[in-house]
Amino acid sequence: MYTNYIFDFDGTIADSSDCGIIATQKAFRSNNLEAPTQETIDYYMGIPIEESFPNMCTEALSTQQLDLLIRDFRSYYKEVEQQYIKIVPGMDSVIQSLSSRNCKLFVVSSKHSTVLERNLKLLDLDSYFTEVVGSDKVTEYKPHPDGLNYILNQYSLAANDSLYIGDAKFDIQMAHAAGIHSCAVAWGSHSETILRQEEPTYVVASPKDILTLR
């Protein structure tokens, strides 16, 4: 039984795919850029927009263009998040169960921490997490283990007692780099086939399966 559970957010705790797709495509179009497809956006959902937007763009972006694109994305995202962000069915009871077992719970995500905190509050989950770590709290982004290393060091957590849970191959790569066990969830942005290629410790088909991991 693990005592420390570190979650990704998008595609793991919450289904925010529609929100991300709408906000991304609107931002690209408002900046006179070709909007990426849904498949492209879903693929890059696991890494920060500071890195994914240039990869999704068909032309090179200046620093100013990227800054404007990110600004517009965040504005559009905030407009639609209350309508489109939904908790993954069953995840709320899993988080509550882990909390009742006195497990320490954290979030390490590619989102900005302010947005993470706002989204967790929207889902009425914010009180369960000791800390959330977003892209603004790390020097290196996923799949670099900076975010996980920060949590492990800040709270003196034993690697063997800690599990990172995510839906993208970048999440599994990050857990490997940090030297902790990983759990791939089969309901997020990357297929089970892609996830298994990264050799996670576990693959689960539903949130309740997380409670059985040892």
159-168 pLDDT per residue, tens: 999 999 999 9
| 100: its two tokens | 């009742």
Q: Do domains 4-15+86-212 and 17-84 have the same CATH topology?
A: no
Distances (CA, A) of 85 to 49, 174, 184, 194, 209: 18, 25, 21, 24, 23
Model-level pTM?
A: 0.91
Report how far residue 214's alpha carbon sits from residue 182's, in angstroms, rounded to the nearest whole number: 12
User: What b/e string do you get for 29-46 counting C-beta neighbours within 10 Å, with b at 16 or more?
Assistant: eebebebbeeeebbbbbb
Query: In this predicted structure, what is the pLDDT of residue 45?
Result: 84
pLDDT digits (tens, 9 = 90+) for 73-123: 999 999 999 999 999 999 999 999 999 999 999 999 999 999 999 999 999
List, for the chain, all residue ranges whose pLDDT scores fall below the cut of 50.
Answer: none
- Decide yes or no: CATH 1.10.150.240 for domain 17-84: yes
162-166 and 4-7 beta bridge pairing: parallel
* pLDDT at residue 135, as a whole number: 93
CATH 3.40.50.300 fits domain 4-15+86-212: no
Question: What are the sequence ranges of the domains in the chain?
Answer: 4-15+86-212, 17-84
